[in-house]
Amino acid sequence: MEPQEKILATSLELFYKYGIKRVTMDDIAKELGMSKKTIYQFYKEKDDLVNQLCETEMLKHEQIFEELFQKSTDPIHEIILIANNMREMMMNINPIFFLDLQKFHPVALKRFQEFKQNCAFNHISRNIKKGIDMGVYRSDFNIAFAAQYRLAQLDMLMFGNYFSFENINFVNAHELLLDMFIYGICTDSGNKLLTKYKKIK
């Protein structure tokens, strides 16, 4: 792994675990076993590191979404694959990470929001349209509104003060919100297909 890639990977792990604000460049250097001077050769400051990290992660997730779409056998299978991927990611994230991103890193936040409004919105809309065409989703609702509603769920989870995570953890909260969304748009045949995939999982 190249030094720049190693810095990004280690920083992301620390930011996910402790939040962005609590992690200093000294912490990152210590975890890497390298000097801050080496880190500053690639990133002029912490905010620059966060911005480049966000850009790298968004590009990676764009690729992941497309790969899962190609791998899926139907729209509900795609949802399950994406949910599994998000579960693995969220298991390692302290919710404070997203609040820190919102409060202290506007450029990275803007990139994340662009990813949601473009890439994520397009994938959700495509999934819904295909599901309607296959008869596994209802056809009596507005696709664009439903896609925006799904993104609003994620905003509530990541950036709102709606949940304390004292009685439910971050991962389970996301899965509950996703269930409320997907079961709400499924037809009877879609519900049966979703239940089948959940049993396989």
The residue among 168 and 188 whose pLDDT is bigger is 188
Q: Is the pLDDT of residue 138 over 80?
A: yes
| 136 found inside a domain | yes
Q: Give every CB contact of residue 123 below 8 A, 6+ residues apart in sequence.
A: 65, 69
| 175 found inside a domain | yes
Is the distance from CB of 14 to CB of 23 less than 8 angstroms?
yes
Backbone angles phi, psi at 19, to 5 degrees: 90, 160
Q: Is the pLDDT of residue 201 over 70?
A: no
| 57 found inside a domain | yes
Number of Cβ atoms within 10 Å of the Cβ of 111: 17
Q: Over the chain, what is the mean pLDDT?
A: 94
Partners of residue 137 on adjacent β-strands = 186
| 87 found inside a domain | yes
Tell if the pTM clears 0.75, that is, is over it: yes
What is the distance between the terminal CA atoms of the chain, rounded to a whole angstrom? 33
Q: Is the pLDDT of residue 43 over 80?
A: yes
| 20 found inside a domain | no
Give Dmax (Cα) for the chain. Answer: 60
Q: Encoding tokens for residue 193?
A: 């297909």
Rg from Cα positions in the chain = 19
| 165 found inside a domain | yes
The letter for the amino acid at 40 is Y
**Residue whose tokens read 């890193």:** 105
Q: Give the count of domains, the chain.
A: 1
In Å, what is the CA distance from 179 to each residue of 94, 171, 174, 184? 22, 12, 9, 8
CATH, residue 73: 1.10.357.10
Q: Is the pLDDT of residue 109 over 80?
A: yes
| 185 found inside a domain | yes
Range of the domain at 162: 53-200
Is the distance from CB of 108 to CB of 114 less than 8 angstroms?
no
Q: Is the pLDDT of residue 147 over 70?
A: yes
Number of Cβ atoms within 10 Å of the Cβ of 184: 12
Q: Is the pLDDT of residue 161 over 90?
A: no
High-pLDDT (> 90) share of the chain, %: 87
| 115 found inside a domain | yes
The letter for the amino acid at 15 is F
Region 128-132 average pLDDT: 98
Q: How far apart are CA 82 and CA 64, in angstroms?
A: 9
Number of Cβ atoms within 10 Å of the Cβ of 181: 16
